[in-house]
Amino acid sequence: MSLDFGAQVAQVVRDLKEIERQVPEVLPPTTEEVAQMLLAEARRRAPVRTGKLRDSGRVVEDKKESRPGRAAYRVCFEFYGKFQEYGTSRHAAQPFLRPAADMLKDQLGKHIEFKVSRVISGIKKR
């Protein structure tokens, strides 16, 4: 008695190749969505005197860290945001970006997992 798994193995290989093709299309926009979620939370937490720091927040693509199929994004604020975040010898720290990232860490990871799992489940349904 022998078992032939050739057809099943071939289907698994085709499915894996399809996942490999589709995931790079899904990840860059998902990564940008995650960066936008972080920006929104950091803006909510930013200290406000004039509102300039809060309003200066933006998401930019990090060209140095980006690769084909793997976009990297940064959340940026006015140059003095780092002084608010970490403090100076004359000004106590008022962190807003790190606490936002800490709070959203699990949620952001789950968002990426959800997007990738949708690709995988779409391939399984075929």
Question: Tens-digit pLDDT profile for the chain (126 aa)?
Answer: 555 556 666 666 676 677 667 666 767 777 888 899 999 999 999 999 999 999 999 999 988 888 776 788 999 999 999 999 999 999 999 999 999 999 988 888 888 788 778 777 776 665
Query: What does the DSSP 8-state code read for residue 71?
Result: -
Query: pTM higher than 0.85 for the full model?
Result: no
Give me the residues paired with residue 58 across strands.
Answer: 76
Query: What does the DSSP 8-state code read for residue 75?
Result: E
d(CA 53, CA 124): 46
d(CA 95, CA 92): 9
